[in-house]
Amino acid sequence: MVFSSITFLFYFLPIVIGIYYIVPNKLKNIVLLLASIFFYFYGEPKYVLIMLLSITCTYIFGILIDKYKKYSKLFLTLSICLITGILVYFKYMNFIIENINLWLSNRIDFIYVVLPIGISFYTFQLISYIIDVYRGQAKVQKNILKLAMYISLFPQLIAGPIVRYTTIEEQLENRKYSFEKFALGVRRFVIGLGKKVLIANVLGELINVFLATKDSSILFYWMYGIANMLQIYFDFSGYSDMAIGLGKMFGFEFLENFNYPYIATSITDFWRRWHISLSSWFRDYIYIPLGGNRVSKIKWIRNIFIVWLLTGLWHGSAWNFIIWGLYFGILLIIEKIFLNKYLEKLPKILSRIYVLIIVMISFIIFSGENMNQIIQNIGGLVGCAKSNFISKESLYYFKSYLVVFIVAIIGATPIFKNIIQNRKNIDKFINILEPIYLLIIFVISTSYIIDGSFNPFLYFRF
Point out the residues that are catalytic.
315
Torsion-angle region of 126 (φ positive above 0: left; ψ -120 to 50: alpha; else: beta): alpha
Distance CA 253, CA 237 (A): 17
Distance CA 354, CA 456 (A): 30
Burial 179-212 (b: 16+ CB within 10 A, else e): eebbeebbbbbbbbbbbbbbbbbbbbbbbebbee
Give every CB contact of residue 26 below 8 A, 6+ residues apart in sequence: none
Contacts 24+ apart (CB under 8 A), 139-144: 139/169, 140/62, 140/63, 140/65, 140/66, 141/59, 141/62, 141/165, 141/172, 142/63, 144/55, 144/56, 144/59
Contact assessment for residue 359 and residue 378, using Cβ atoms and an 8 Å cutoff: no
Burial 314-330 (b: 16+ CB within 10 A, else e): bbbbbbbbbbbbbbbbe
Q: Which of 397, 394, 363, 364 is nearest to 379 (CA)?
A: 364
Backbone angles phi, psi at 380, to 5 degrees: -60, -25
Q: Which of 83, 65, 92 is nearest to 125 (CA)?
A: 83
Q: Which of 241, 274, 208 is nearest to 454 (CA)?
A: 208
How does DSSP classify residue 290? T
Helix (H) or strand (E) segment spanning residue 28: helix 25-43
